[in-house]
Structure 1
Amino acid sequence: MNKIYLILIVFSLFTVSCTEQENKRKNTEKKQATSSLSEIQKKLDIDPTNAEYLIKRAELYMQSNQYNEAILDIQSAIKQEPENTDYYLKLADCYLNAGQLKNAMGVLKKVLSIEPKNTEALLKMGEINLMVRKYKEVFTYANAALEGDPYNATAYFMRAYTYKELKDTARAIENFMECLKNDPKNYNANIELGLIYSSKKDPLSIDFFKNAIAIDSISEIAYYNLGMFYQNNDYLNEALDTYRALIKVKPNFPYSYYNIGYIYMQLLKAESEAVPYFTKAINVKSDYYEAYFNRGLCYEILGDVQRAREDYQTALNLHHNYEKAIEGLNRLDQ
């Protein structure tokens, strides 16, 4: 039986979408930050307490994941402008990126003491409470944000994700849809709705996954889960086409090759067609013991006992006590 590969969706509630293209942009910014740091440092050498320059340097530090340095600069800027909530919000971001949730919450509470209806602070407080699964507090902050901004897509996404965590699928769908109503290009909302409808075997999932691909054309999450929907619902040609499309944009993603191999082997009974795809999966992911096992199974069916034995043994070496590999070796010894 195929082992479904679960792709974790890592997202920030405060970006429109966490796409691969966005990650590439951030990597470019990191490279640019090094040269920019020297320029801003020259200005700070002349005017070391200039809050604007300190914030600029902090931003450059953050691009390079130098959070401790960024925190010090932002704190220095706040000393110059203690009522500037933008600086506090940036400090909260820095703490969040550094994993210092308690410090982030303390800063955000300071913002809310200055501006009780600050939407960004409310949403960040909601995000932190979602991280620690304090769902009642998530709703409190998300609802407060919506009072000030009734069309805020992030607040609807936050509520939707919380309902999903609470297994209230109907309300999760309702809020994800509200999120998309206000932000049609929200990648994460499309993915989440695709996953929900896919779990129901509802073809509506196809549209949401395709929407996500239109937003991020190199997203393995969207392609893969679209392929899985097709595969699990016996649209095999569509599944094969989707996995092949994913291979074009992500040739080093091993699970596309594996699933094509599985379809040929298990569902189409075309073992000789399956072998090259399991091999490609292994070439990309050398410890992929399931791929070794299934290639071995193909070889066994095709009568190539020696190669079958080698693959079963490799699968067992990679995953000790792997029952399927042990059974395969025992069959060959009979």
Structure 2
Amino acid sequence: MKDRIYFLLVDDQQLILTLASRILKNNGYKHIIQASNGAVALNKIKKSPMINVIVTDWNMPNMNGIELLMAIRNDPNYFNISVLMLSEEMSDDKIFYAIEEGVDAYLEKPFSEDKFIATINKVLQKDLDPDPIKYKLQKLTAMSLRKKVNETIDYSKSLLQEYGNNIDVYLILSDCYLSTRDYENAEECLHKVLKINKKSSKAYHMLGQISMKQFEYEKALSYMEMAYSINPLNTDAVISIGNIYLKMGKIKEASETFSNLQVDTLTNRNYTSIGAAYLGAGNLEKASQYLQSAKAPVLESIAVFNKYALELKKQGEYEAATDQYQKCLKIDPLNHILLLNTAVCYFEKKNYAEATSLLEKCLKIDPQFNDAARLLNHIKKMKR
């Protein structure tokens, strides 16, 4: 069995990576990959699809352990990878947060070899001896993550009939209803979750999202504050509270909410979320402040940076807009929309050679992209 287990160790401290690798090798495990933070780990996962177990530190730059855990659990290709979370201080709040996001086990640093291997064995044993409903929940999760909404709803209902009330099923079902704007059924599912577990911050957070979509901002604020009181380490809840204040026109309260976040714990994802909130409120100056602090976009945040660049372009700041587009193209080089938008910036800067090159790349990807073809023809006519 040990020959079939592939580990990914994630920590920004090389000493911990070396120690954990040595322990695993001493205990017969051969396949070990290392990464320095969550963002690097995600790239390693995509290049090494055989990974079975991730051992990750909590506190890391760029993308921390809890964000890595959330990214994995929300990816249809990797959601069932086992995750062991490490932390120098595994407080009750951290344990609660990690469990709610689907961690398989947790361990405080520093750790002994015996304790580390015992925890690894515990993680592996869960896969060998799963709960009766586990495989069915995995099937349901895969359906949901692949956006098979109708199938997910039908299968959720069948599981509820077979097993009775189940928090995981209700949360997945409510998310499906939310995606179809069936807010009434989504709320009903979430209130059933809260009857089972009054301390589900996920349920309160989703109720807040539903209220926001219905422009019930006072109600949304109440739900988000409840989510944060239950899970005070959840930065997403704080950012959502600030976003609600922005939508209510309470600029001062929003600014204070964001300012109260500890700068040393903010990640690229957090900065991007705050920047997106200010973009939505039409405050380009504040959006720039936070988005510039995000060192680089990831695939999931490209839409935010694209919108940011569009706003810069409207202000005539073509150089700054080009910089943002180039950042995005490093992550998604075959995105024809990004290529066109970048080409437009070069066109406005009268760099027609670079604009032409980007438009030609764009049309190789999508020969039917009329906007790119029109701009390319326009440039060619200008050169005659």
**Bin for the TM-score computed over the shorter chain:** 0.5 to 0.7
TM-superposed CA distance for 1:165, in Å, is: 2.7
For the 8 Å contact 2:309–2:324, the answer to whether it is kept is yes
More strand by share: 2
Q: Which residue of 2 aligns with 1:271?
A: 352
8 Å contact 1:247–1:256 — kept in the other structure?
Answer: yes
Residue aligning to 1:208: 290
Is 1:72 aligned to residue 158 of structure 2? yes
- Answering whether residue 225 of structure 2 is matched by residue 143 of structure 1, we say yes
Task: State the match for 2:137 in structure 1.
Answer: 58
The one-letter code of the counterpart of 1:293 is R
- For normalisation by structure 2, the TM-score amounts to 0.54
Indicate which of 88, 92, 97 corresponds to 2:175. Answer: 97
Distance 1:144 1:192 in 2: 20
Identity of aligned residues (%): 15
2:375 pairs with 1:294: yes
Give 3-state SS (helix, strand or coil) of 1:107's partner.
helix
Residues 98-125 of structure 1 deviation map (CA, whole Å, 9 limit, x = unaligned): 2254333223323434554543332232
Identify, as 1 or 2, the structure richer in helix.
1
Q: Cα 1:235–1:62, aligned 2, differ >3 Å: closer, same or farther? A: same
TM-score, scaled relative to structure 1: 0.61
Say whether 1:261 aligns with 2:340: no
One-letter amino acid matched to 2:235: A
Distance in structure 2 (CA, Å) of the matches to 1:114 and 1:25: 24
Identify unmatched segments of 5+ residues in structure 2.
Answer: 1-64, 82-129, 145-150
* SS state at 1:27 partner: coil
Q: Residue 332 of structure 2 corresponds to which residue in structure 1? A: 250
Secondary structure of the residue that 1:98 maps to in structure 2? helix
Tell me what 1:130 maps to: 212
Q: Report the count of equivalent residues.
A: 261
Q: How well do the aligned residues superpose, as a CA RMSD in angstroms?
A: 4.1
Q: Give the SS at the match of 2:131.
A: helix
Q: CA–CA distance in 2 between the matches of 1:276 and 1:56?
A: 50
2:262 and 2:363 map into 1 onto residues whose CA distance is 39
**Deviation by residue 1:245-303 (Cα, 9 ceiling, x = unmatched):** 4333212112332233223322x323344222222223334443332332222122212
1 or 2 for the larger relative contact order (CA 8 Å, sep ≥6)?
A: 1
Distance 1:189 1:264 in 2: 28
* One-letter amino acid of the counterpart of residue 274, structure 1: A
Corresponding residue of 1:120: 202
Contact 1:153–1:178, Cα closer than 8 Å, also in 2? no
For residue 138 of structure 1, report the CA deviation from its aligned partner: 0.9
Bigger drift between 111-120 and 136-145 goes to: 111-120
Q: Tell me, which stretches of 5 or more residues in structure 1 are unaligned?
A: 1-14, 33-50, 304-334
Residues 147/237 of structure 1: CA separation in 2 closer, same or farther (3 Å cut) = closer
Closer, same or farther: CA 219–156 of 1 in aligned 2, 3 Å: closer
CA distance in structure 2 between the partners assigned to 1:291 and 1:136 by the alignment: 44
Cα deviation, 1:20-46, whole Å, max 9, x if unaligned, reads x937972323799xxxxxxxxxxxxxx
Q: 1:71 to 1:176 in 2, by over 3 A?
A: farther
Counterpart among 59, 69, 76 of residue 27 in structure 1: 76
What is the CA distance between 1:94 and its match in structure 2? 1.8
Q: CA deviation at 1:162?
A: 2.0
Higher Rg of the two aligned structures: 1
Give 3-state SS (helix, strand or coil) of 1:248's partner: helix
Q: For the structure 1 residues 293 and 172, does the alpha-carbon distance in structure 2 shift closer, same or farther, using more than 3 Å as the test?
A: farther
